[in-house]
Structure formats: C-alpha cells, structure tokens
Structure 1
Amino acid sequence: MANPSFFLFFFFLLVVTSSARAPPQDPELIVKELEREINGSRRELGYLSCGTGNPIDDCWRCDPNWEANRQRLADCAYGFGKNALGGKNGKTYVVTDSGDDDPVNPKPGTLRYAVIQNEPLWIIFARDMVIQLKEELIMNSYKTIDGRGASVHIANGPCITIQYVTNIIIHGVHIHDCKQGGNTYVRDSPEHYGYRTISDGDGVSIFGSSHIWVDHCSLSNCHDGLIDAIHGSTAITISNNYMTHHDKVMLLGHSDSYTQDKDMQVTIAFNHFGEGLVQRMPRCRHGYFHVVNNDYTHWEMYAIGGSAAPTINSQGNRFLAPDNTFSKEVTKREDAPESQWSHWNWRSEGDLMLNGAFFTPSGGGASSSYAKAYSLSARPSSLVGTITTYAGALNCRKGSRC
C-alpha cells in the first residue's frame, strides 16, 4: 500500500485550487479533513493499490479487467486537473479508420469525427494505428482519448488542439513529429467549422481551457512545444508522460504581459524528462506550478524556468545535471534582473541533486505551517526511479494488468 501521506497532498490541492494565494489554515485541521475525504473516496472507488507509490497508477493499473472498466480512469487523476471528467458517463466510441481525408467533413469512424461531437465520448481504438492528421485535431468538451490496448501514434502532421473547451483526458498515446497546419478550414463541432491561421505545431496545445489531464503519453520531436498551456488555461495535471528529443518542452503561460494567466494552476507529476531535451521542463509565467516526483535525466540548458513572477513549488524530484559544466543549474529566470526575481517564490523541498545539479530558490517562502502541510505532498526523491518506471504510453493488453 502506498504511503497514505502521499495521497493527502493531492486532496490538499483541492483546498488551495479555489484560492492559491489565500492564507493557510491550520495544517493539523487540514490533514484531519483530508483523511476523512480520502477514506470516503476509497470506499466509493473500491480503491486498488499496486504498491508502486504512484497514486494514479495504483488507482487502476492493477485491475486485470481494466478493459471492461475503462472509465474508472477518470476517477484516478490527482493535482489541479483532478476533476477532469473527460468522456466519463458517455458512450464508448471506437476509432476504426486512421484516415483524416477531410477536416471539414470528417468520416464516421475517424478520430476527428469523434472529438468534435457535442456529447461526452470515451474514445478508444480498434487496433494499432498511425494517424497522420491533415490539420489540427480541434477537440470539443467532455472527451477522453484512451489509447490503452493499442499502439496509437498521432504523428507527422498537425496534432492536438484543446481550445476554449473543458474536461479533456488524453491518455496512452504516442504524440510525435508534429507539424504546423492552418490557412484552411477545420471543423470543431457538428454545427461549426472555421478558418484557422497557421498553428504552432505543438504536440498538445491547451488554449483558454480548463480541467485538462494528459497522462501516460510519449511525446517527442514537435515543431514548437510538446505540451503548451496558455491564455487563461487552468486546472491542469500533466502526469506519467515520457518526453524526449525536443528543444522547448513545455510552456505554461502565454506572455509576460498576459496577466490572465495569474489564475493558472498546473500540477506536473511523475513524468520522465529523458534524453535529447534542452529546456522548458516547464517554463512558467504568472501562475502556480507544482512540480512533484519527476525524473529529470537530461537537459542541455536548464530544467525549470520562468518569468513574470510565477510561483514554483518543486518537491521530491530527481535532477541529474548534464556533464556540461555550464548547465548544472536546474533553474533559469528570464526577462528580469535579480532585484525583481529575488522576490519570486521558487521553492525546492526534498529534491535530489546529482552530478552537480543545483536549484536557486527565491522569495520569502511560505509560512512554516503552510510548508508543514505541503511536506505531505511528495514521496522521497529516492523513490522517483520506481515511481516513474512506466512513464509514457503503456503496453496494455486485454485480460492482464497494464
């Protein structure tokens, strides 16, 4: 059974989501309330534990009947994106056609046809397939893309756009070699299609959207970012992903002048930032970012950066610095002199620094009671290797545990 204190943190996030800057309550009262909520939730979900220490995986992966209980996954998120429903309680839609011949009039059976529908859908795949999209895949609200049970690649064309929608889950797919698209018409609902200008070429682009969860995906080598969240997006969890071979990995916050991103709240947990990565794991602006129990085994410039006074709480991560003596620092402040960034609240707690890695903290820090409550958040950094062993798209097969 995973350490119960680990689960307390993620329910605690729900307390702070509504007001991340509110004065902290007595941590002992918080813990008692969270224990009550956790016990109730476990009874409701029939809680499973594989003993990995990864609460998301322990919620569903040890069930050999996962294929018959796919929508259970929607109950397993943690962090700020915990309430992302995806297509929960909707019909199951099976993608049978890997084509994308007409982005304005998509054929039934294609992924594009599924994601633009108005009703909640849990989207799965009939077989292994590579989907080369002609244009951005513009999603409608309340959709889950669930790649478990098949090897699904969205690659070699424009990729996923989550724009002005809510409640999206992307799970278990390979997203790579994403290109720019645009200067054409694309449908985003059964009733509407519109003209799209040139897209950024992200793997997953989150724009003005909320309650988003990207989990157990493998991402690499896209034109711009692997996962970017901008323009007031919030309530996001990015977890259990394996990211490789890319320059600007993850941008969270549109620009220094776009102050609406002050409400952005993102949890980045249990990911493996692997070979061939350069920077932005993530790069943050304005909002609140919790970076917990991730494994950083490669960066060429820096791991975590930001500008415009974001709050960054780094806990229980493992940072392996490159051999390059000029890139040992985990952190990078941009577009501000030290007289300004010295007041930004960037904290490191329980992080493991290897090969000369170092994190430069700043800001006055939280109160001692707030820090005490947050000390429940992360497993020890020495366990990160175990927690992130299965980051990325899983090889799930019907009738056995993933």
Structure 2
Amino acid sequence: MAALPYADADSSLRALAGRAEGFGRFAVGGLHGPLYCVTTLADDGPGSLRDGCRKKEPLWIVFEVSGTIHLSSYLNVSSYKTIDGRGRQIKLTGKGLRLKDCEHVIICNLKFEGGRGHDVDGIQIKPNSRHIWIDRCSLRDYDDGLIDITRQSTDITVSRCHFAQHDKTMLIGADPSHIGDRCIRVTIHHCFFDGTRQRHPRLRFGKVHLYNNYTRNWGIYAVCASVESQIFSQCNIYEAGQKKKTFEYYTEKAADKQEAKSGLIRSEGDLFLNGAQSCLLNGIGEECVFHASEYYPIWTMEAASDSLRAVLQVCTGWQSVPRPQDQVAIA
C-alpha cells in the first residue's frame, strides 16, 4: 500500500498547522487563534464563512453545517486563517476564494464547483501572498482556472487535491510582463488531475516541484514550462489518452529581456503510460533545473507505481473524515 504524507495530521484539529510538505511548509493558518464556527450557508452575515474570513485576527474556521454556499462575489481570505472542512461536506459555487496580500492560510477539505463569470477561479492567489497550503480539496468546472497563483505569490503547497471536468486547470505566473514572478515557488504533490485538458500546471518564471501526482487523459499537454521557468517532475504518473505529449514548452519574452525563452523541465523517476511521450527539450538545460533538496530537507515520496496510482484515485480531493477534537489552543 502506498504511503501518504502527514498521516497523523488528523490526530487533533490543529495538528494540521505547519505540516505541509515543500515550499508551503511554514503555513500555520489560524493556529494561534480561537475557533470560528460557520453556522449558516448564507453568503454573508453573522456565522457565515465570509464573515469569518474577513476578520483580521487569526481564526481556525470550522463548519457546523453541511451543504452549498453560493458566492455572489469573490470571498476574500485574510491572513492567519484555516478554513477546515473536515467533518462536514461544504461546496463553494458561483465564485471562488481570493487570497490577496495575505499570508499563512490553510484551506482543507472543501469542494469547489460551478464558478461562473469572467476571470473566475476556484482559488485565486494574488498578489504578494505567501505561506499557503491547499489540501484535500475537490475542484471542477470553473469558467477560468481552478487554482491560479500569480503576481509574486510564493511559498505555496497544493496537496492531495482532485481536479476534474475543466480546461485551464492551474496557472502559475500569469504574463511574461510580470517579471516579479521570478520569486514564485510552488510544490504540488499527491494530486489527481483527472481528465482535465491542460495546465497541470502551466508555469512562467518560477520554480515548481511536482511529485507523486497522477495525471491522466489530458487534452493538449500535461505540464507546460514557459518563460524562464523551472519544473522538477519527480516520480509522477503520466497516463496519456488520445493526446500523447506530456511536456510542452512555450517560448515567450520577459519584459526586461531581449531574447525570448521557454522554461526547463527535469524529469526524474516519472512513469509514462499508454504512449505518453517522455521526451524533454532536446535534453538541453535539464541539469540547470533546481533540485528540491536545495530548498527543503525531506518530503514523503515513493516510486511511481500501480499501487500509488490506485491510492491517488481514492485519497485525493474531499474526504469523508471526522473533524478532529480541538486540544487546548496554543498561546
């Protein structure tokens, strides 16, 4: 049986804080704040999710209700918040979450489905946000992206999420004019990209570590490296459908450079199935891609295998797990 990371993070409510792997590992969310209980599915007002997220103090937000919250506008999340959906089934629809100029946010065990409107993403992280962890969420069917990370937002981990029924899945770095995005660093691990069309992710400028993800039946490509980006793809499973191209390279010109460049991908221990093409960019520059060990000492990873593929199909996305008991809040 494949091993999953942070297996004991559900032992108590706040054991989740600081347990992310990778670039988002310092995210503590609302660890040092009181519980805030969501008691209504209303879009706003006392006891609503929006009301809790706008408060300035640290909060660990939990739900006393299950059901669908229809967002009429983006829901802005302020710093030092944990939105913890364990123990309930909460679906957000209409619009999505926006993490703007914030830090230390954890989003766990929610469903995002049916976001409508121009530039509507499931989770939009911009600008200047950092120390973010998105864990065990199910995301599908938004009019724009499912998760977008842009405008100098960095130190982010996305783990054990399930992505489905979507086109432009995950964009990291929005535009070649945004040269400040060279600071972006994201870890994506143990996620299941389930027949989504493209962008798993598409990256500009930054650094992304992908490991132990399962991507199948994409519609254009699996992973794309564009201007100056570096992708370290390690022990992932790429299972092609009709389209076989796993790695794509788009050439763009940074606003402060004269020469257009694509990005670079290093593939190590990846498993390519059903004719998925494993070729890199003529073998050029792979040695120039960062190694995760330059930034963090350990991460929970195993060889890409059939057993890992089976586990990722059932242990990603929203999970029917009880809400852990809360121990004495840490002062």
**Matched residues in 2 for 1:371 and 1:236: separation?**
14
**Matched residues in 2 for 1:257 and 1:226: separation?**
22
- Whether 2:139 is the aligned partner of 1:236: answer no
Determine which of 31, 49, 53 is the counterpart of 2:3. Answer: 53
SS at match of 1:131: strand
- Whether 2:329 is the aligned partner of 1:379: answer no
| Structure 1 contact 333–341 (Cα < 8 Å) conserved | no
Equivalent in the alignment of 2:315 = 390
Per-residue Cα deviation, 1:210-249 (whole angstroms, up to 9, x for no partner): 1111100000000100000000000000110000000000
Displacement of 1:298 after TM fit? 2.1
- In 2 relative to 1, CA 364–110 (structure 1 residues): closer, same or farther, beyond 3 Å? same
Moved more, 367-376 or 77-86: 367-376
SS at match of 1:80: helix
TM-score (norm 2): 0.88
**Matched residues in 1 for 2:57 and 2:244: separation?**
48
**Matched residues in 1 for 2:167 and 2:289: separation?**
37
Q: Superposed, which structure 2 residues align to 1:248-397 within 5 Å?
A: 248-275=168-195, 277-322=196-241, 324=242, 327-336=243-252, 344-362=263-281, 363-366=284-287, 378-382=301-305, 383-388=307-312, 389-397=314-322
- Whether 2:127 is the aligned partner of 1:127: answer no
| Structure 1 contact 59–76 (Cα < 8 Å) conserved | no
- Whether 2:83 is the aligned partner of 1:83: answer no
Paired letter, 1:366: E
Equivalent in the alignment of 2:329 = none
Determine which of 171, 193, 196 is the counterpart of 2:108. Answer: 171
Determine which of 149, 153, 161 is the counterpart of 2:98. Answer: 161
**Matched residues in 2 for 1:132 and 1:264: separation?**
31
SS at match of 2:267: strand
Aligned length: 313
Unaligned runs of 5+ in 1: 1-50, 64-68, 101-105, 181-198
**Matched residues in 2 for 1:341 and 1:316: separation?**
26
| Structure 2 contact 162–192 (Cα < 8 Å) conserved | yes
**Matched residues in 1 for 2:233 and 2:194: separation?**
18
Paired letter, 1:55: P
Displacement of 1:272 after TM fit? 0.5
**Identical columns (%):** 35
| Structure 1 contact 316–379 (Cα < 8 Å) conserved | yes
TM-score (norm 1): 0.73
| Structure 2 contact 239–273 (Cα < 8 Å) conserved | yes
Q: Superposed, which structure 2 residues align to 1:163-242 within 5 Å?
A: 163-180=100-117, 200-208=119-127, 209-242=129-162
Q: CA RMSD in A?
A: 2.5
Displacement of 1:384 after TM fit? 2.5
Displacement of 1:396 after TM fit? 1.2
**Matched residues in 1 for 2:227 and 2:288: separation?**
22
